[in-house]
């Protein structure tokens, strides 16, 4: 199937061959998904990725052929190598950056997150590429998936970042790398990370559990030289603390706080 896509499909009158190829690939992948031991075979991983790229119908076939040939030439135990990932990103980045072309990029990133082992050096390289650039639309789900994966690997890691940053990055080399990528807090990526952390890890926490972390969060912001990721997590924590405090202790008529204060203290 992979060799077929490298055939003479670029001719306009043979465009229907691409549709037939996709149809056949879909059938193959559907059958393979029923065979547990076959799901993660390197060639099938490559086939899924190539099928996603072909389905986008915006990537030149020459680029797809190059990706296929590179994938087939690499170590069969590691299709998603740093070289392969960089090549695919290079092809995707050359496309006009519109909504239609963002879809295959997001799909490829999600494939990588699902397939690259969490302890792999390739994942570090992959994270560096993601967090060193400005986010594209709808990237929040990708960042959320990355951070949730970190919390699954080391439960409560974002609370550990507040109280003991050195211990947190000792547990996760990936978060250490992300911290280095977020050196400038005045970026859209830093803002996206902050919002994602707030919503994913602090929004559902009970307010009474915040007490132990309030001091460390403030300290991370007013002390010089604190790591960027610790500052981002602290801001996320304090944003949620203020919101929850407001909702819990201020009146339901919070749209008219002056009236409430006047009635409470001056009547």
Tokens of 11: 């001719």
Query: 178: exposed, middle or buried (C-beta count within 10 Å: 0-12, 13-18, 19+)?
Result: buried
DSSP annotation of 207 reads G
Structure letter (DSSP) for residue 36: G
pLDDT at residue 257 in the model: 53
Q: Determine the Cα–Cα distance for residues 163 and 132; give it in Å rounded to an integer.
A: 26
**pTM for the full predicted model:** 0.84
With beta carbons less than 8 A apart as the criterion, state whether 165 and 230 touch.
yes
Q: What is the pLDDT along the chain (267 residues), one digit of tens a residue?
A: 666 666 655 544 466 777 788 788 888 888 877 776 666 677 888 888 998 998 888 888 889 889 988 888 876 666 688 999 999 999 999 988 888 889 999 999 999 999 899 999 999 999 999 999 999 988 999 999 999 999 999 999 999 999 999 999 999 999 999 999 999 899 999 999 999 999 999 998 888 889 899 999 999 999 999 999 999 999 999 999 998 888 777 666 555 554 544 454 444
Residue pair 77/132 in contact (Cβ under 8 Å)? The answer is no
Q: What is the DSSP string of 102-157?
A: HHHHHHHHHHHHHHS-TT-HHHHHHHHHHHTSPPPTT-HHHHHHHHHHHHHHSTTH
pLDDT of residue 170: 97
Residue 182 · residue 189 · CB < 8 Å: yes
113 contacts: CB under 8 Å, gap ≥ 6: 142, 145, 146, 149
Nearest to 5 by CA among 58, 56, 91, 66: 66
CB atoms within 10 A of CB 203: 13
Mention every residue, 6+ apart, whose C-beta is less than 8 A from residue 165.
Answer: 226, 227, 229, 230
* Per-residue pLDDT at 260: 47
């Amino acid at each position: 199937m992979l060799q077929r896509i490298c055939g003479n499909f670029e001719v306009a009158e043979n465009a229907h061959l691409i549709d037939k190829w996709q149809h056949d690939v879909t059938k193959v992948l559907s059958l393979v998904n029923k065979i547990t031991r076959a799901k993660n075979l390197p060639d099938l991983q490559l086939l899924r990725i190539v099928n996603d790229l072909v389905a986008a119908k915006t990537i030149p076939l020459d680029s797809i052929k190059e990706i296929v040939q590179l994938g087939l030439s690499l170590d069969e135990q590691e299709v998603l190598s740093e070289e392969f990932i960089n090549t695919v990103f290079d092809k995707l980045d050359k496309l006009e950056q519109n909504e239609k072309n963002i879809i295959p990029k997001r799909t490829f990133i999600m494939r990588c997150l699902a397939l690259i082992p969490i302890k792999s050096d390739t994942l570090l390289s992959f994270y560096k590429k993601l967090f060193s650039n400005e986010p594209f639309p709808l990237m929040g789900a990708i960042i959320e998936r990355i951070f949730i994966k970190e919390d699954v690997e080391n439960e409560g890691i974002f609370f550990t970042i507040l109280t003991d940053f050195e211990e947190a990055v000792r547990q996760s080399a990936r978060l250490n790398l992300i911290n280095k990528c977020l050196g400038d807090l005045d970026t859209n990526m830093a803002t996206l990370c902050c919002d994602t952390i707030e919503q994913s890890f602090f929004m559902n926490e009970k307010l009474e559990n915040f007490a132990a972390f309030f001091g460390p969060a403030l300290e991370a912001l007013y002390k010089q030289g604190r790591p960027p990721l610790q500052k981002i997590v602290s801001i996320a924590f304090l944003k949620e603390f203020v919101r929850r405090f407001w909702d819990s202790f201020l009146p339901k008529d919070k749209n008219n706080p002056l009236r409430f204060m006047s009635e409470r203290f001056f009547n």
